[in-house]
């Protein structure tokens, strides 16, 4: 599920204005001819995501991402070029489409479902997050504290006004979420590091997808999104991330609440079903 305004990420274009190696390869005319020819014999097209802002299709071993806002694609391409962790190979780019090679392995898990991945695989995901966070910052900023606080307030008002959740559940989670909104030392974050976006084979991470929300941000946000709905694997992720840094559990819990509070309306408005069925709503109801 791809939220174009996911809290903690950023959709601003890279600030350098230069063409990365990934961008140059993405528009390689030879590649752009060869890859469509490779897809010619595919008998089935799988719709992975589709709504009025973007669509992702799987055609054989190629993923086609079509986005109405090319600044998100600019961020994705530049972030993948900078990231020190495995990412999909960019096959070609011809706006509004971006073609990526499929990653080996399977997703670490899915929100709302038990994960079958090993503890070691979860630890490897934590280690990958740490590697990203230790990398040089991208040149574009993330959202400010004021922006995050404003969005949180607006989404909480919507949840209560539309009877999506009882006022006391919203209030309790909002109070917790607000504790995450404090100054932090910015790191290179993925911005949407949910379990569906981390691919593993056995106990190894084979790649991380969907980088359009990458930016400068709070390291704890990525750790929280990775473990949202999978609190039983939080210890594994922390073990892989490293105990030489302070991963404040209370702040990770706060980011869980903030993420859920700010995602429900977007999911409902983009055709993902009834809010009562969303794992995010279940998480909010479970918060003490």
**What sign results for the dihedral spanned by CA atoms 194, 197, 201, 203?**
negative
Per-residue model confidence as pLDDT tens for the chain (288 residues)? 334 334 444 433 333 333 333 333 333 443 444 455 555 566 789 999 898 889 999 999 999 999 999 999 999 999 999 999 999 999 999 999 999 999 999 999 999 999 999 999 999 999 999 999 999 999 999 999 999 999 999 999 999 999 999 999 999 999 999 999 999 999 999 999 999 999 999 999 999 999 999 999 999 999 999 999 999 999 999 999 998 888 999 999 999 999 999 999 999 999 899 999 999 999 999 987
What is the model's pLDDT at position 52?
A: 87
pLDDT at 41: 62
pLDDT at 15: 34
pLDDT of residue 14: 34
What's the pTM? Answer: 0.86
Handedness of CA 127, 112, 219, 239 (dihedral sign): negative
Placement of tokens 């969907």 in the chain? 210
Q: Give the pLDDT of residue 19.
A: 33
Q: Give the H/E segment covering residue 200.
A: strand 198-201
Strands 97-101, 106-107: pairing is unpaired
Report the distance separating Cα 214 and Cα 141, nearest Å.
9
Residue tagged 């709070």 (tokens): 218
For 117-154, give one letter per residue: b (16+ CB within 10 A) or e.
beeebbbbbbbbbbebbeeeebebebbeeeebeebbee
- How confident is the model at residue 256, as a pLDDT? 98
Label residue 236 exposed, middle or buried (CB < 10 Å: 0-12, 13-18, 19+).
buried
């Amino acid at each position: 599920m791809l939220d174009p305004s996911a809290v903690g990420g950023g959709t601003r274009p890279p600030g350098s204005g230069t063409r990365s190696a990934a961008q140059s390869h993405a528009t390689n005319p030879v590649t752009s001819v060869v890859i469509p020819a490779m897809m010619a014999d595919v008998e089935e097209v799988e719709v992975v995501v589709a709504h009025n802002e973007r669509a992702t299709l799987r055609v054989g071993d190629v993923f086609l991402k079509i986005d109405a806002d090319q600044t998100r694609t600019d961020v994705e391409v530049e972030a993948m070029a900078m990231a020190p962790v495995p990412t999909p190979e960019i096959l070609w780019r011809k706006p509004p489409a971006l073609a990526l090679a499929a990653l080996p392995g399977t997703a670490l898990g899915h929100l709302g479902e038990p994960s079958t991945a090993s503890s070691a695989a979860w630890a490897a995901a934590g280690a990958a997050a740490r590697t990203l966070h230790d990398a040089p910052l991208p040149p574009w900023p993330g959202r400010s504290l004021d922006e995050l606080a404003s969005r949180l307030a607006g989404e909480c008002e919507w949840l209560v006004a539309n009877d999506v959740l009882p006022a006391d559940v919203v209030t309790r989670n909002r109070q917790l979420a607000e504790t995450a909104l404090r100054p932090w030392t910015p790191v290179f974050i993925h911005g949407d590091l949910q379990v569906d976006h981390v691919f593993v084979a056995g106990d190894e991470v084979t790649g991380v997808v969907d980088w359009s929300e990458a930016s400068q941000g709070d390291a704890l946000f990525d750790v929280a999104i990775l473990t949202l709905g999978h609190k039983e694997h939080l210890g594994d992720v922390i073990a892989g991330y490293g105990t030489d840094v302070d991963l404040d559990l209370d702040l990770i819990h706060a980011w869980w609440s903030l993420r859920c509070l700010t995602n429900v309306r977007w999911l409902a408005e983009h055709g993902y079903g009834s809010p009562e069925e969303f794992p995010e709503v279940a998480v909010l109801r479970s918060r003490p």
